[in-house]
Each structure stands twice: as C-alpha cells, then as structure tokens.
Amino acid sequence: MEALWRSILDLLSKIITPDWGELISLLPVALAGLVILWFALTVRGWATVGPARRAPSRLTPIAPPDLHMPGPSYAPIFAAAGAAALLWGLVVGGTALLVGVTILVLALLYWGREAIRDYDQATHAAEHAGMLPAVVHAGPPPGVHMPGPSFRPFLGAAGTTALMAGLVFGGWVLAAGVILLVTTLSGWLVDAVKEYRKTEEADHTGHLENIPDPVWPRRLIQVGSIIFVLAVLLQAGIIPPKAPETAGGGTPSGPAPTEEAPATAFTITAKDIAYDRRSMVVPADTPFTVTFDNADTPGISHDVDIRKADKTTVVQDEPVINGGDSTTYNFDGLPAGTYVFICSIHPVANMTGTLTVK
C-alpha cells in the first residue's frame, strides 16, 4: 500500500511542479503535431466540400412475392444443444454418450420434420388448401443472387467431426482432424472468392452468373479417408508393426515367460492414449493400490476403473485426472476371478488391461 501511495505522489509531483526544461524541449514536437493536425483538418474540409446529403431511412427488407422465405425456427438451437450433449458424452463416456446421441438424433428429427412441413406448404399448397395451384419458381427475381449448390457444408461437418475425435483421442487423430478441417475450409474460401468475382463481373456486364456446378469430391473424400484411417491406426499402435517376439520357425528366442506373482501395489502410466501396463495380478479379497500417472498433454483426461470381464459392468469407478497430473487409487478387495481395468474416457484396446484376482 505504501509503494502505491508513493507512486501516486510521484505522479502528482510531476504535474504540480513540472520540469520546465523538459517541457521546453518538447515544444518543437508540439508544434509539429499542431501542423499535422491543421493539414489533416484542411484535407478533410476539401474532401467533404459540397452539398450535404442525408442517407435514406432504413427500410425493412421484404421478400419478393414469388420468393419463399422460411419463418423463424428453434431447430438450429435444439441441434446446437444436441451437438453439445454429444460432445459432452464423448468426453464423459458411458451412459452420457448414449444420452448425447439421443438428444442430437431427436433434435435432427425435429429439424427434418419442420423442413418437410415447410417444403410441403410451399410446393403442395393446392393439396392442403384445395384452391391454390402449386407455385413453380422459375428462378430468383432480378437482382437476387442465389449461390449454387455446394458440397462444402457436408465436408465441413466431416472435418469438424474428425477434429472433435482428435480432441478426444489426441496425437495422430488430432493432426488428421486439423488437416481435414483446414483443407475443407480452404476449399470453401476458394468457392467464396469465385462467387465474389462473379458478383464483380456483374457490375460491368449487368448479368450475374453462378460458378460452375460442383462435381463429387471423390478424390478429396478418398484422400481424407486414407489420412484419417492411417492416423487412427498409428494412434492405436497397430502400425508400424511391432518386432516379432519369436525367431527361427516360431520358437521363442529367450526363456519362457514366468507367471506373474500377485501384488498389492502397482504403477500405471498413460501416454499417447495407452497404458504402459496391460496386466495386474492381485490376491483375492485383499485391497490394493494403483499409482496412476497421466503423462498425456493437459486437456486429455484418463482414469483407471475396474470392470467385469464383459467390459461394461462397473465394479469400482475412480475419478478422472487431467493430463500432466497423477494420483493414487485405492481399490477394495475383490473375489477371485478375471476382471479388466479400463479408461472410461478412452475405452480402447490400448487403454484396457486384464486384472487377475487369485
């Protein structure tokens, strides 16, 4: 508090008792500023010379009589809420994922029903009203530009889905998602530039043309699918193939593996969406601990849960920890049998191990 008060006093002292020598040395700078300001005001005066014009009042836009404009809708809001629920389910997993998928599907079904109803009302008015013929639009009115069809929204949705999958699984999948989304958005930007060039040409020719109709983006879909599949295989550790563990006619090159002895304390590290340990053996009806280290980047969460051999029935659920953190899980004693320890956020093969209780 004392340092703050001293800084205030120092500032006030410079205002109340200024250094006149410094102020005099700044006089040329002040004069130059006044000259620049005078020139700026003069240029502005010459640029705005002439009769003043007032802009016309803003008019409420009205669609032409033969152009159908859909009314307001809550469907996009419901769809956004459904997408948020789905992403939440992808992060939490389990029942939350099923709930998110259900909400999104219901929102899209509502949107589809609303769109079909609007389409029927616009194109089959005679069937519903019994008096008006169906309206057939010859095209947009003069001066109204309607962009042509495009595959970019669908490709953008696919790229966004790949990016979201990458945010969940990280690593190679995240890199592939970024590449796919950036490629799609770049193509969309190219199409927008072409549309704008056509609009510029219409200023001189008086005729506005659409860009050529798009063709099926087969090559982009094929290359993008290959990139994403390769990223998934790399992330899952399927490629590159691991070195063979046997040599010379399939006989083991080293001594036969020994059976793992039961223990009550284990250490598991998660890195690149994978456990470094895939098996644990514990004595029956005896509590045991697992020191868990999440070595992935912050934002990628993991945990270690105990489930039955079916991988769905939860025996003991443990809290999730963020990337870069570590914790110790205390598990209760279990009856003899075979279980699995698994990450509830990423229930993939690389994050699933066998727990043997004997």
d(CA 134, CA 140): 17
- Cα distance between residue 188 and residue 156, in whole Å: 9
Nearest CA-CA partner of 70 in 122, 21, 1, 128: 122
Rounded average pLDDT per 10-residue block, the chain, 358 residues: 74 66 75 87 76 56 63 84 86 83 90 82 56 53 67 86 83 87 89 83 73 82 90 80 51 57 92 91 94 90 93 92 93 94 90 93
What is the per-residue pLDDT for 249?
A: 47
pLDDT value of residue 336: 93
- Give the model's pLDDT for residue 66: 60
pLDDT the model gives residue 205: 73
User: Crossing angle, helix 152-169 and helix 75-92, to 10 degrees?
Assistant: 30
Residue 198 CA: distances (Å) to CA of 208, 261, 279: 7, 75, 64
What residues contact 341, with CB distance under 8 A and at least 6 apart? Answer: 268, 280, 290, 304, 305, 306, 307, 352, 353, 354, 355
**DSSP secondary structure string for all residues of 240-284:** SPPPPSB-STT-BSSPPPPPPPP-SEEEEEE-SS-BS--EEEE-T
In the chain, the N- to C-terminal Cα span, in Å, equals 66
In this structure, is the dihedral angle defined by the CA atoms of residues 26, 30, 31 and 36, taken in order, positive or negative?
positive
For 41-57, letters b (16+ CB in 10 Å) and e give eeeeeeeeeeeeeeeee
**Tell me, what DSSP letter sits at residue 350?**
G
The strand pair at 279-282 and 352-357 is best described as parallel
Gyration radius from the chain CA atoms: 34
- 93: number of Cβ within 10 Å: 18
* Residue 92 confidence (pLDDT): 79
240: preceding bond cis by omega (within 30 degrees): yes
Residue of 150, 146, 157 whose CA lies nearest to 217: 150
Local structure of 218: helix, strand or coil: helix
**How large is the greatest C-alpha to C-alpha distance in the chain, in angstroms?**
100
- Pairing mode of beta strands 337-342, 305-308: antiparallel
Q: 236: exposed, middle or buried (C-beta count within 10 Å: 0-12, 13-18, 19+)?
A: middle
Contact assessment for residue 292 and residue 277, using Cβ atoms and an 8 Å cutoff: no
Q: What is the pLDDT of residue 246?
A: 46
Cα dihedral sign for 188, 189, 194, 199? positive
Question: Where does 265-357 sit in CATH, by number?
Answer: 2.60.40.420
For 295-298, which contacts have Cβ atoms below 8 Å and span 24 or more sequence positions? 295/269, 295/270, 295/271, 295/323, 295/324, 296/170, 296/270, 296/271, 296/272, 296/323, 296/324, 297/170, 297/323, 297/324, 298/322, 298/323, 298/324
CA dihedral 232, 86, 168, 269 (to 10 degrees): -110
Compute the residue count for the chain: 358
Phi, psi of 308 (to 5 degrees): -70, 175
